[in-house]
Amino acid sequence: METVIILVFVFGYLAITLEHSIKIDKLIPALVMMAISWALISLGIDSFPNWFDSAKHALVDNFPALGHEEKMHLMEETLLHHLGKTSEILVFLLGAMTIVEIIDYFDGFSTIKNFIKTKKKSKILWIFCGLAFVLSAIIDNLTATIVLISILQKIVKDRNVRIWYAGLIIIAANAGGAFSPIGDVTTTMLWIGKKVTTGHLFGYLLLPSLVCMLVPTFIASFLPAFKGDLAVDEEKSEKQKNRFSGTMLFLGLGAIVFVPIFKMVTHLPPYVGMMLSLGVVAIFAEIYSSSKFSISSHDSEESDAHAHHSPVHHSLSKIELPSILFFLGILMAVAALESLGTLFGFASALKETIPMMGTELHGTGVSDLVIVLLGIGSAVIDNVPLVAASLGMFSEPMDHELWHFIAYAAGTGGSMLIIGSAAGVVAMGMEKIDFFWYFKKISWLALVGFLAGTLVFFWTRTLF
């Protein structure tokens, strides 16, 4: 049964990558393989030799000896756990996307657009990659990607040029998120799991992450796509939207930056702070839009009129829901493989069979090559379950170099495929980027940056 579930995942994954060839939206195979995988688990629960408890990051002791009802109860708890963790990401994403759309409603991104005076493509590339690197460390790589691609859409009108910028933004955002405890889901997991501290994470990974961003950006600046100047389209925005554009930009971005502060103070999940931020931004948006506020109305015409004029309703209607559903499907499908212990077994097999290759993480018996392969694997599968499996595999103390190497490898390795990171998935949805286009044009740049940063990490770890 486990083999069948793996095959379902493989065929579903192929359908996602061949989206443009088979003319089926990627969210459909993602949802189908999620549902079938969990259905097969439910039907064959008594035949599985292992079960991975994600809450404890370890295999369940003596799982085959448990009764059928106990196994079903454990499966339901695990499913609920994964749905909860996935929903946290999705609700956070919905909040961030809505704030970005509200800013766009008031033409707020024109403020940043006006700051960028140059028309030279290579200079704009450096500006956006630098912003992606810094912003992702502050507001996380996912939100930074949403914000910057929204700005990019206002500056670069030619989509064929814009997707090149989007590809490099993904690399830069994932690199920036790797050295910050709130910059990426995986580093947040390690931080909350008391495996890394902010100071050591910064010390170990700032330089490797910076190199991981700088090398691909430097190489890309010489590519034909970034030669010459942009064709600037002078568009006039509506007067009403321009009036509060600067205010809403700073309010919206400030609200997003507030989220990690709220998390640090209250110790609540990030999505709670994001909902508070969305509520505050929505209040000002309604006030500034001078729309008639109506929570509920029996008069459908009045309600429709408000929906037409309300910036919040307008923004919610523009959210990319297919991307949200795709994210739900792919994460829950991967969770199915994780629950069976498949990913745990894969990581353990790597640890035992890969030779030392002359380098070893101090006293762990783990080859550097194992962590590098885990980083590459995070592009193919997903970095979240791989890090979850790693938390159960290794028992090294807090701030051991192993955890920092895993944080770097998993965080930046996902850039090698567009569906390997949250930033990539969002960019794919916002710009309709083809999987194979990204693989041909951007993946090699991400690989070069990943390897360059890895070499720098080998040096920075000697300093601690």
Give the DSSP per-residue string, 257-320.
HHHHHHHHHH---HHHHHHHHHHHHHHHHHHHHTPPP-S--S-HHHHHHHHHH-HHHHHHHTS-
| pLDDT, greater one: 290 or 336 | 336
pLDDT tens profile 98-107: 888 888 888 8
pLDDT tens profile 119-137: 888 999 999 999 999 988 8
Element (H, E) at 348: helix 342-353
Q: What is the tally of helices (H) and strands (E) in the chain? A: 23, 4
What's the pLDDT at 461? Answer: 84
SS3 175: helix
What's the pLDDT at 240? Answer: 44
Specify the pTM. 0.76
What's the pLDDT at 278? Answer: 94
What's the pLDDT at 189? Answer: 77
What's the pLDDT at 373? Answer: 85
Report how far residue 59's alpha carbon sits from residue 340's, in angstroms, rounded to the nearest whole number: 9
Report how far residue 253's alpha carbon sits from residue 276's, in angstroms, rounded to the nearest whole number: 13
User: pLDDT tier at 221 (50, 70, 90 boundaries)?
Assistant: very high
pLDDT tens profile 337-370: 888 887 777 766 766 776 544 455 555 556 788 8
User: pLDDT tier at 157 (50, 70, 90 boundaries)?
Assistant: confident
Burial 144-155 (b: 16+ CB within 10 A, else e): bbbbbbbbbbbb
Q: What region, left, alpha or beta, does residue 140 occupy, with left being phi > 0 and alpha being psi -120 to 50 degrees?
A: left
* Domain range annotation of the chain: 88-319
User: pLDDT tier at 9 (50, 70, 90 boundaries)?
Assistant: confident
Whether 298 has a pLDDT exceeding 50, the answer reads no
What's the pLDDT at 239? Answer: 41
What's the pLDDT at 191? Answer: 82
